[in-house]
Amino acid sequence: MTDPLLTIAAALNWGQKQLTHSDSPALDVRVLLCFALEKPDSYLYTWPDRAIEPQQQAVFVDLVARRAQGEPVAHIVCQREFWSLPLMVNSSTLIPRPDTEVLVEQALMLASDHPMLRQAGVLDLGSGTGAIALALASEWPHVRVTGVDVKPEAVELAQCNSNNLKLGNAQFKQGSWFDPVAGQKFALIVSNPPYIDADDHHLTEGDVRFEPLSALVAKEKGLADLAFIATQATEYLLANAWLIMEHGFAQGEAVRNLLTQNGYCDVNTVKDYGGNDRITLGKWNP
């Protein structure tokens, strides 16, 4: 593609043809062209016949080549939207998934009425980019949301996202699971922990190949971290506070059992937008 007068429409058409291995070539190529042109998506719709400068064209060709090699679009443009919040992403942690928004919806529905929500706040374990914590902080501006992640790079990234979004009620701490919040009690605990079995073939496919295994894989068929959180959270939840965790599509029953065995009540599994079991929740009522 060397024609200096290539139009936007022609560039989109050419780009799509290069991305035969992507699940979403049309969307990918739009995001990459917007990034190369430093313009919003509406610009592409408004000016399909506008010619692209040779220099921007060269940038675009390079971005498409990276995507064709499998690199996730979110890593190429260093950004992904979650709960309508633009978040910076990098290879230190997971790229936020749309299905995780179901966890945010459940949290808002179940915990908004907790009488101690403002005083005690919310804990997000394994906060990664900060997606869940920041979504909740944006919806509950008067509630303190604490995110914890074991990776210093992820904590730094989440803190940057929090600063960019001016969500001063969200804070991020480095440490293993509950260690940084020892002795505290919360009105809600949420987590999207690693839950994939090390032998799962999905780990060798698509965008997941570019994400850190530490954020994806857990022992005991993916249940080890879910079990640890379910057991330990009882020490950190106020009465009538919810624990809400994301998990794999085949782990619903196992996670319900974990919660029930640990004494939670009103245990329930909620499906994601694809109709798969994805979120299980329980209320701590000692």
State in angstroms the smallest separation of the CB of 53 from ligand GLN. Answer: 37
Question: Does 254 engage in binding with ligand GLN (CB under 6 A)?
Answer: no
> Of 59, 89, 216, 227, which lies in the binding site for ligand GLN, with binding defined by CB under 6 A?
216
> Of 57, 129, 192, 251, which lies in the binding site for ligand GLN, with binding defined by CB under 6 A?
192
State in angstroms the smallest separation of the CB of 250 from ligand GLN. Answer: 11
Contact 93, 157 (CB under 8 A): yes
With 0-12 CB in 10 A as exposed, 13-18 as middle and 19+ as buried, what is 195?
A: buried
> Of 29, 196, 226, 241, which lies in the binding site for ligand GLN, with binding defined by CB under 6 A?
196
Q: Are strands 145-149 and 186-191 parallel, antiparallel or unpaired?
A: unpaired
> Of 25, 194, 252, 282, which lies in the binding site for ligand GLN, with binding defined by CB under 6 A?
194
Q: Are strands 186-191 and 237-246 parallel, antiparallel or unpaired?
A: parallel
Contacting ligand GLN within 80-99 (CB under 6 A): 94, 97
Q: Given the complex with ligand GLN, which of 44 and 258 has the nearer CB atom?
A: 258
Lookup: tokens for 38: 């430093």
Give the three-class secondary structure for 193: coil
Question: Does 252 engage in binding with ligand GLN (CB under 6 A)?
Answer: no
Q: Contact letters (x/-) for ligand GLN, 100-139, by CB under 6 A?
A: ----------------------------------------
> Of 1, 68, 208, 270, which lies in the binding site for ligand GLN, with binding defined by CB under 6 A?
208
Contact 74, 31 (CB under 8 A): no
Query: Per-residue DSSP letters for 70-120?
Result: T--HHHHTTEEEETTEEEE--TTSPPP-GGGHHHHHHHHHHHTT-TTHHHH
Contact 122, 114 (CB under 8 A): no
State in angstroms the smallest separation of the CB of 125 from ligand GLN. Answer: 11
Q: Given the complex with ligand GLN, which of 60 and 246 has the nearer CB atom?
A: 246
Q: Are strands 122-125 and 79-82 parallel, antiparallel or unpaired?
A: unpaired
Pick the stretch among 68-76, 153-161, 173-181, 188-196 that binds ligand GLN (CB under 6 A). 188-196
Lookup: tokens for 84: 């309508």
* Residues at the contact surface with ligand GLN, assessed by CB under 6 A: 94, 97, 192-196, 208, 216
